[in-house]
Amino acid sequence: MREYLTDAIVLGHERSGDFDVRLDFYTRDFGRLKAKAKSLKKTTSKLAGHLEPLTLAKIRLIEKNGFLVADALTINRFEQLRAAPRLFAEGLRLVDFFKAVVLEGEPDFNLWRWLKNSLITGKISYDGLKKILGGEDFQTARQWV
């Protein structure tokens, strides 16, 4: 059993059973990864507010048959995005697109910095992502999200 501490942006989540949740993160140290959070949907969960989509949090992961979220603490809730519904919706579209084009387990500090800065400033431009990924089919991929 190994333990890791890293900064992560919550990209999304899906239910896994009655109270458990499977979270999708982009982390500074490990790239994109999925982890399970036990009992996150219970009303007494202390982690639920720290693991909402479009939240930057410091998370502690335990690796045991996959990753398990042990602790989380919010660093930034990207209030600029949350204050404007259209901008928040664009942020959600960005992370959906990000999940579609970025593979799991491949850390990239430039990608991390671009995503974090885009969400902090609220200036969501796909040009920076295009430069980092360098894909020629980038425009085609963006159209289907």
The reported pTM is 0.87
Mention every residue, 6+ apart, whose C-beta is less than 8 A from residue 2. Answer: 62, 63
Task: Work out the average pLDDT over 34-39.
Answer: 91
Backbone angles phi, psi at 112, to 5 degrees: -60, -50
Number of independent structural domains in the chain: 1
pLDDT at position 137 over 60: no
Range from 13-17, 62-66, 70-74, 132-136 carrying the lowest mean pLDDT: 132-136
Consecutive H or E run containing 32: strand 31-37
Structural domain including 137 reads: 1-145
Q: What is the pLDDT of residue 143?
A: 53
CATH number of 87's domain: 2.40.50.140
CA–CA gap between residue 79 and residue 140 (Å, rounded): 31
Q: What is the pLDDT of residue 109?
A: 93
Burial class (CB in 10 A: 0-12, 13-18, 19+), 62: middle
pLDDT at position 144 over 50: no
Predicted confidence (pLDDT) per residue in 55-104, tens digit = 999 999 999 889 999 999 999 999 888 899 999 999 999 889 888 888 89
Q: How confident is the model at residue 18 (pLDDT cuts 50, 70, 90)?
A: confident
Q: What is the pLDDT of residue 70?
A: 92
Report CA-CA distances (Å) from 141 to 4, 8, 82, 88.
33, 24, 26, 21
